Amino acid sequence: MSFERSRDAYDRHVGRYSSALARALIERSGVRDGDRALDVGCGPGALTEELAARLGAENVAAVDPSHSFVDACRARVPGVDVRIGAAETLPFADDSFDVVSSQLVVNFMADARAGVGEMARVGRRVVSSCVWDYAGEMWMLRRFWEGARDVDPDAPDEAVTMRYCNRDELGQLWSEAGLDDVRTGELVVDAAYVDFDDYWSGFPGGPGPSGAYTAGLDPDRLAEVRAAVRRRLGEPEGPFTLTARAWFVRGTVGG
């Protein structure tokens, strides 16, 4: 998956939503003063930064398989222990963290059962996560894929290709990892755009499936998709705001 990107490219894409989403995830995860926390799949570090602001950088660690994102996270949050690695084989000892969180990552794991199992192994109180509502109210991506499919019915819409993007599947994954008192809910954030070009600038060269899809289009087809997405957004003139919903899950680490 295409996550060897700069922080800037990420922030023009879904990264616009990441800091607000991180604050909501921290709140719902029940993070407490004095906790030690791990951010799994940290990307360029939005959740890491919010955890460090709350707990102190020395009490936060982060891990991601993307070298460019790990470099970006280290630069963004000095003092945090940021490591290259994947959720499926976390480079930490058992029971190392009070809170283990991953934001927008479970659906990208090669083996989510193993990844969440590892999050539970290194955690000692709470394991939490959130995944975009790809099929519903994550409007930035929903309108993009609707427009892409207007032009190309075979476009790989993340509403179809992604797993773990609803409450039931996420809750089941958490229960199967042996986590207790599993609860799910929604997190809703928003992002402001100066205009349609500002929105569109996140896609060509951007991270994830939509960036990979646009990178594979010839210039004419890319222009058709751009026009179709603009129509799906209601032909915005000037500034607009989009809301984005993510499904949330948390569970406690049993005795």
Point out which residues bind ligand SAM (CB under 6 A). 1, 3, 14-15, 18, 40-43, 46-47, 64-66, 69, 86-88, 103-105, 108-110, 115, 208
Instruction: Tell me which residue of 112, 126, 118 sits closest to 93, measured CA to CA.
Output: 118
- Measured CA distances, 168 to 40, 42, 114, 160, 254 (Å): 22, 24, 18, 16, 21
The CA distance from 172 to 161, in Å, is 19
Instruction: Tell me which residue of 36, 224, 15 sits closest to 123, measured CA to CA.
Output: 36
DSSP, residue by residue, 217-254: S-HHHHHHHHHHHHHHTT---S-EEEEEEEEEEEEE--
Nearer to ligand SAM, 107 or 228 (CB): 107
Minimum distance between the CB of residue 208 and ligand SAM, rounded to whole angstroms? 6
Minimum distance between the CB of residue 77 and ligand SAM, rounded to whole angstroms? 12
Minimum distance between the CB of residue 103 and ligand SAM, rounded to whole angstroms? 4
User: What type of residue sits at position 106?
Assistant: V
Residue nearest to ligand SAM (CB): 43
Nearer to ligand SAM, 129 or 252 (CB): 129
Cα 142 to its chain centre, rounded Å, is 15
Minimum distance between the CB of residue 129 and ligand SAM, rounded to whole angstroms? 10
Nearer to ligand SAM, 83 or 125 (CB): 83
The CA distance from 10 to 127, in Å, is 25
Minimum distance between the CB of residue 252 and ligand SAM, rounded to whole angstroms? 22
Q: Look up tokens 């990552």; give the residue.
A: 105
Q: Name the 3-class secondary structure at 143.
A: helix
Nearer to ligand SAM, 23 or 221 (CB): 23
Nearer to ligand SAM, 14 or 51 (CB): 14
Minimum distance between the CB of residue 25 and ligand SAM, rounded to whole angstroms? 9
Nearer to ligand SAM, 15 or 117 (CB): 15
